[in-house]
Structure 1
C-alpha cells in the first residue's frame, strides 16, 4: 500500500509506544541518515526501526516478508556511499540492456574493482542497478502483509533520473529550466547550444547527486569556461574524474572537450543556466522539504559561485529575509510549486525540492527533486526536525488508513 502524500491532517502530539506500529527501514546500518531517524524515534518514545540492509536484499540474504509484519510502517532510506553497496549496485546493472555508448563493466569485475573515494565512473550502470533493486523491493513488499509505505518506489527511481523527472514536471506545468536533452558528446552539446541559442548551460550527470559531475558551462565568442565539481586527473594515459568539494575552472577548450565527453559516457542531462536572485552579496536557491503535501523545512543556500550545495562549503542564509524580500504572494506561489512538484512525481510522503528564485524575486523554477533530500540537521519547523515531522505524519496517515 503506497503512502498518501497529498492529504493534510493534524499530527498526534504524543505517540504512544503501546499502540504504535513497528517501523522497518531499508537502509545502511551506521549511515548518518539511519542514525538520525533512529534518534528521532527514540526522542518520541518509540522503539527503534528494524533495519534491513540494502546489501542483504541485493545478494538475497534478506526477504522482506520475514521483516514486514502486518501494520508495519516501511521507510526506504538512501543506500548511502558504502563501498560494498556501490559495488553491488553497479554489478546489479551489468545485465540490463541500456543506451549505446555508456561506460560499462561486467558484474564480476564490478564486484572486484577498487572503489576510489570520489571517483566518478559507471554512474549510469549504478543507476540501472539501483532501479532494479528498487523494483525488487517493490515486488517483495507487494508480497508482504498490509503495511504503510513512507516512500513510493517508482517515485524514488524517477527522482534519480534527472531527464525523466524534468520531463514529468514540464508536462505537469511546473516551471523548470529549458532542457537541451542528453547529448552523447561535446560536439553534440555545442551543436544543440548553437541551435537553441543558449550560450550558458548546466551539464549534469543524469543520475548524480550532491552536485557530483555538474558543470556550469558557458561560451562567449571563442572563449569557453567550465566551472565544475569534477577534478580531472591524467594518469598512465587514462583520464580519471573525481568529485571535489571545491570548484575547478577549466578554460582550455581541449580540457573542456575531454571533460564533457567523459561525462556524456555516464549519461547527462543538460538544461539552460538560469540566473539566481541574490541576497547578502551572494546568489542563493532554496531547499524545501515537502511532507504530506506541505512545504515544511526551508533552507537558503548561499554561494558566490553557480553551485549552492552546502557540502561545497557554502553557507545557509536567512529564510525570513528571503521571504520578506519576495513578499507574501511570491513566497506563497513558490511554496505551492514545491508542493505540486512532489505530488506530480508520485505518492511519496516526502521529498526535497531545490528551487531557484529569479533575480526579480517573483519568478522561480524547480532545479531538482531529491527523494532523500530531508537530511537537514538542526533545521526545525513547528519545533520538529525533518525526521520527527515525517514520523508523526506517517503515524497519522497509518491511523487514518486503518492499516490494521
Structure 2
C-alpha cells in the first residue's frame, strides 16, 4: 500500500506520453502550497504532462473584493492561448486549509442587509468583521455564512470563465460542486436519479431546532438518526443521535466540541469523538446544527468487520471506478482523520460481489452529474447475506487518498493518466 515513488513507474508513465494528443492547457483553481496542489503537480510530472497553471484562491478572492475579475489573476499569455489555441480544462479544488481563504469566503457570504441571502445562522459576521477574524484553531465559524460565500465563489467562477473563455471546460462543473457540497440537495438529486440513499426524516417544514427534530422523530418513529451539517466535510458537524422511545433518554455522538465564550456557545471540530447525554448540552448542539442547515437521515446499520462497522470511499473518474479504501470504526463515524483504521476491501473481507455493488453504486451516483468528471463517493453496505449499497456522500474533492493504489498508480497519477489517454469532453 505504498505510494508511487519508483523511477521505473516514472519512466513508464513518461514513455506513454509519446502517444498522447496535443495537450490541453490545464488550469487549477486552488491553494498553491496545499498538499492537494503539490500532489497533482507531481502526478502531472510523472505522467509526462506540463504543470497545471495555478490560479490561487487568495489572489482571486482579494481581486473580486477590490472590484476585479477572474481575468485579472490569469496570466495574459495564458489568456491569449486560451482564446487563440486550445481552450483550457479547469479544475476547481478544495478551498480549505488556508485561513485567509476561509475569511474571504465568510466575507463573501455575509448578508450585510441582503434579505435574499439564505442564512438562519445563529452566528454571523459582517463582511468587514469576517476579514478581521483571528484564527481559533478548530472553531467552526458561521457555517451557513461560509457556505453562502462558497456558493457565490463557485457561481462567479462559472460565470466569468464562461464569459471570458466560452470553449473552456470544467473538470467538475461549479454548479455540480455546489450541489455535491449541500448534503440536502445532493441526496435529493441522487434519489431522483435512482441512486439508493438512506431515508430522510420526513417533516412538513424545514427542521430548525432541537424541539422540532424531536417532534419529527416521534411522529415518524425514527429514533436513530444522523444529523449532518449540510455543508460540512471531514465529519465536521456530524451527530449520531438516538432517543430511547420508552424512557426518553438520549445520546449524541459527534466530532463537535462545545464551550462558552462571553455567554454564547462556540463550536469546534474536534479530532476525537464526543459523547453527550445531558439534555441541555444536546439541545444546545442540535439547536445550532439545525439552524445552520442540516440533513437528517435514518441511522442505518452498516456492514461490520470484527467489532467495527465500515463504509467505503470509492473514487470514480471519467466513468471508471478506481481506488477504494475501507474506513473502519468502533463508533458510528468512520472518517479516517479521527484515527479510524483503513484497509483495502479484500483485507476487510469485502468479496468481489460486494465490491461490485459499491462500484456500481458509486458510478451510478457519478452518472447523476454528467457535467462532472470525478468524485470520491462514500458508500455503505448493509449487513446480512443480501447486502445493498447506499450512497452516503459525494465529495467533489474526494481524491486525496493516501497509501492506496489502483493499477499500480496513486490517485492523482491515475486520474492524470486517464485524462492523458481519454481527453475530457462534455457538453
Question: Alpha carbon RMSD of aligned pairs, Å?
Answer: 2.3
Contact 1:357–1:364 at 8 Å: present in 2 too? yes
Which residues of 2 match residues 5-44 of structure 1 at below 5 A? 14-16=16-18, 19-44=22-47
Residues in 2 aligned to 1:177 and 1:402: alpha-carbon distance in whole angstroms: 30
Task: Name stretches of at least 5 consecutive residues in structure 2 with no aligned partner.
Answer: 1-12
Give the aligned partner of residue 224 of structure 1.
Answer: 250
Contact 1:355–1:366 at 8 Å: present in 2 too? yes
Cα deviation 1:29-58 (Å, max 9, x = unaligned): 100100100111111222221110112222
Which structure would you say has the larger RCO, counting Cα contacts within 8 Å and 6 or more residues apart?
Answer: 1
Which residues of 2 match residues 139-288 of structure 1 at below 5 A? 139-142=159-162, 143-144=164-165, 146-180=167-201, 182-220=206-244, 221-288=247-314
Q: What's the secondary structure of 2:55's corresponding residue?
A: strand
- Distance verdict in 2 for CA 1:165–1:13, change over 3 Å: farther
Q: CA deviation at 1:348?
A: 1.1
Residues in 1 aligned to 2:417 and 2:358: alpha-carbon distance in whole angstroms: 25
Would you say 1:101 and 2:99 are equivalent positions? no
Contact 1:301–1:316 at 8 Å: present in 2 too? yes
Contact 1:121–1:266 at 8 Å: present in 2 too? no
**Which of 387, 399, 402 is matched with 1:374 structurally?**
399
- Distance verdict in 2 for CA 1:167–1:145, change over 3 Å: closer
- Distance verdict in 2 for CA 1:199–1:13, change over 3 Å: farther
- Distance verdict in 2 for CA 1:18–1:164, change over 3 Å: closer
Q: CA deviation at 1:320?
A: 1.2
Residues in 1 aligned to 2:305 and 2:378: alpha-carbon distance in whole angstroms: 17
Contact 1:27–1:52 at 8 Å: present in 2 too? yes
Q: What's the secondary structure of 2:43's corresponding residue?
A: helix
Aligned length: 390
Residues in 1 aligned to 2:106 and 2:150: alpha-carbon distance in whole angstroms: 8
Residues in 2 aligned to 1:25 and 1:167: alpha-carbon distance in whole angstroms: 29
Q: CA deviation at 1:336?
A: 1.0
Give the aligned partner of residue 97 of structure 2.
Answer: 81
* Greater mean alpha carbon deviation, residues 15-24 or residues 54-63: 15-24
Contact 1:12–1:392 at 8 Å: present in 2 too? no
Residues in 2 aligned to 1:388 and 1:395: alpha-carbon distance in whole angstroms: 10
- Distance verdict in 2 for CA 1:364–1:237, change over 3 Å: same
TM-score normalised by length of structure 2: 0.86
Task: Name stretches of at least 5 consecutive residues in structure 1 with no aligned partner.
Answer: 1-10
Residues in 1 aligned to 2:89 and 2:192: alpha-carbon distance in whole angstroms: 32
